[in-house]
């Protein structure tokens, strides 16, 4: 019995290596030892073994994993994309804002696809220049969409708060950023000058707050108002990000509007919106002319319709562009060479570039009298000089009047030129809201959730006009019974 037990044990021990080899071959993977290690240590300790000894892991090539992981999408920034929208997407750099206000504005825009298409089509004239200026400054390119929120890319847009142009500058801020205003032009409407001023302003308020969302709130509400709101939250130990601040309703919806448009531009197919491509080439070029030049003649020299020419040169509100103005003439990019050639040929023929004269209004003179003298209707005279009911006309006022051969030029531009904007807004009756950035109305204040906001559509109101002291005193004297003090307007 003992002998049989010993024999069975010996046979089992001899069979173990074979089973191990079978298992390893079945797994098709093994640890193979180098010859030095397979021959044994020769009685040496592990510490004394050769340091060149290595362990090699091998696998049957037939069982190698052949499927590759999906590649991450890459952007080739060395090659300019053909589509200007893609170029803009490549430069997106602002942190995204999330929340129900973004979803609300997103739905609002998507429910108006025709409006979006018109605004995007209008933006095609200006986006290439704006994106290029943003890239030069290292700024996020989604800021090029801000004129959609401000003016729907309309360079002639004018608000009741006297904000003007594509970037909606009020007079005081425009003056701070050297936007010229005179009898001939208003650079708040100038495509190139206003874009440069807007981006400089955005840079300054970003450096002030260190946050793009707060910078945008400052652009709408005023940097000092935002700073006060931030300090107020700090004093209470509350967060100071955009979503946590208490601000007016218009400002509360301001950044969500931009974020909603950015989302649509980023992934239009996700929202079922067809975003027509814009060729990534300049839409316009500039030409410096040091002589007075009629707008109608300039349009003809550029072989461009008058309406298109005015859309590219909206700063001028008179039918003549003075040669000493601060703004270059803007023409379509494919018409720059044509314009220069036609201008040289026209000047070589010794033809006048302007057929207009300046008439200084004298004491006792009226617009009707001046119009009759120059054989032009009073209505057309006012149109050509951008005169409205808000503009005070008196002695010393410079009027542009037609000279010889100017009647045809007057007909070309009459009613098409933008109006000169007055310095003082016209008072209107009714309740008026608070005033934000240099006179920009901000409406009723809203909490951080955006609730109880009536001005969600960004409806602008005029500035507060106080009653005169004499009238107030008269009303007070007339009253026989004391009344409770009125609450402050908010």
pLDDT at 434: 37
Please determine, for residue 20, whether its predicted confidence score (pLDDT) is greater than 70. no
pLDDT at 318 over 80: yes
Dihedrals phi, psi of 446, to nearest 5 degrees: -130, 155
Mean pLDDT within 223-244: 97
Residue-averaged pLDDT of the chain: 80
**Residue spans of alpha helices (H) in 124-182:** 127-137, 146-151, 171-176
CATH superfamily placement of domain 284-413: LysM domain (3.10.350.10)
Q: 156 pLDDT exceeds 60?
A: yes
Contacts of 437 (CB under 8 A, 6+ apart): 170, 173, 218, 219, 220, 221, 222, 223, 225
The pLDDT of 281-300, averaged and rounded, is: 95
Tell me, yes or no, if the pTM score tops 0.85: no
Tokens of 127: 């986006």
Spatial distance between the Cα atoms of 200 and 169, rounded to a whole number of angstroms: 13
Q: Tell me which residue of 368, 354, 264, 361 sits closest to 316, measured CA to CA.
A: 354
> Is 166 in a helix, a strand, or coil?
coil
Which pLDDT belongs to residue 118? 97
Query: Cβ distance 218 to 226 under 8 Å?
Result: yes
pLDDT digits 0-9 by tens, 165-212: 999 999 999 999 999 998 889 999 999 999 999 999 999 999 999 999
Residue 245 confidence (pLDDT) above 80: yes
Residue 179 burial class via C-beta count within 10 angstroms: exposed 0-12, middle 13-18, buried 19 and up: buried
Q: Is the pLDDT of residue 468 over 50?
A: no
Q: Is the pLDDT of residue 337 over 90?
A: yes
Domain spans of the chain, in order of start: 84-271, 284-413
Q: 118 Cβ partners below 8 Å, 6+ apart?
A: none
Residue 92: how many other CB atoms lie within 10 Å: 14
CA angle 422, 427, 431 (to 5 degrees): 140
CATH architecture of 84-271: Orthogonal Bundle (1.10)
Residues 169, 194 contacting (CB under 8 angstroms): yes
pLDDT digits 0-9 by tens, 416-428: 888 777 654 444 4
pLDDT for 370-389, tens place per residue?
A: 999 988 889 888 887 878 88
Residue 283 has pLDDT above 60, yes or no: yes
Which of the residues are catalytic? 150
């Amino acid at each position: 019995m003992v002998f049989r037990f010993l024999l069975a044990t010996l046979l089992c021990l001899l069979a173990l290596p074979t089973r191990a080899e079978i298992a390893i071959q079945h797994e098709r993977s093994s640890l193979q030892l180098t010859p030095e290690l397979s021959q044994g240590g020769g009685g040496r300790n592990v510490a004394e073994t050769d340091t060149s000894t290595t362990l090699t892991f091998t696998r049957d090539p037939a069982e190698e994993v052949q499927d590759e992981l999906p590649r991450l999408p890459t952007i080739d920034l060395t090659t300019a994309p053909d589509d200007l929208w893609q170029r803009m997407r490549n430069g997106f750099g602002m942190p995204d804002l999330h929340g129900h206000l973004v979803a609300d504005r997103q739905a609002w825009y998507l429910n108006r696809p025709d409006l979006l298409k018109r605004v995007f089509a209008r933006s095609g004239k200006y986006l290439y220049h704006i994106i290029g200026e943003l890239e030069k400054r290292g700024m996020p390119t989604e800021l090029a969409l801000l004129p959609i929120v401000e003016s729907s890319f309309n360079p002639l847009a004018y608000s009741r708060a006297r904000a003007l142009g594509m970037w909606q500058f009020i007079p005081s801020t425009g003056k701070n950023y050297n936007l010229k205003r005179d009898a001939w032009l208003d650079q708040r409407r100038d495509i190139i000058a206003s874009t440069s001023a807007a981006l400089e302003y955005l840079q300054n308020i970003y450096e002030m707050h260190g946050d793009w969302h707060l910078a945008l709130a400052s652009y709408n509400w005023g940097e000092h108002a935002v700073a006060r709101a931030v300090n107020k939250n700090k004093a209470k130990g509350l967060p100071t990000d955009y979503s946590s601040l208490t601000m007016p309703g218009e400002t509360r919806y301001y950044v969500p509007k931009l974020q909603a448009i950015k989302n649509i531009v980023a992934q239009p197919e996700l929202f079922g919106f067809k975003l027509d491509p814009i060729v990534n080439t300049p839409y316009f070029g500039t030409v410096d002319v040091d002589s007075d030049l009629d707008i109608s003649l300039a349009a003809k020299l550029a072989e461009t319709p008058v309406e298109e020419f005015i859309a590219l040169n909206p700063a001028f509100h008179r039918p003549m562009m003075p040669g000493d103005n601060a703004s270059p003439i803007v023409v379509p990019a494919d018409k720059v060479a044509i314009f220069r050639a036609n201008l040289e040929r026209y000047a070589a023929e010794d033809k006048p570039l302007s057929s207009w004269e300046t008439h200084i209004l004298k004491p006792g003179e009226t617009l009707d009298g001046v119009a009759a003298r120059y054989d032009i209707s009073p209505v057309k005279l006012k149109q050509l000089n951008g005169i409205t009911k808000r503009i005070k006309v008196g002695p010393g006022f410079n009027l542009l009047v037609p000279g010889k051969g100017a009647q045809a030029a007057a007909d070309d531009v009459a009613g098409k030129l933008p109006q000169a904007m007055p310095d003082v807004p016209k008072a209107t009756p009714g309740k008026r809201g608070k005033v934000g950035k240099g006179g920009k109305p901000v409406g009723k204040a809203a909490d951080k959730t955006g609730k109880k906001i009536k001005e969600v559509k960004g409806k602008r109101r005029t500035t507060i006009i106080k009653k005169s002291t004499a009238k107030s005193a008269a009303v007070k004297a007339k009253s026989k019974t004391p009344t409770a003090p009125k609450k402050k307007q908010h």
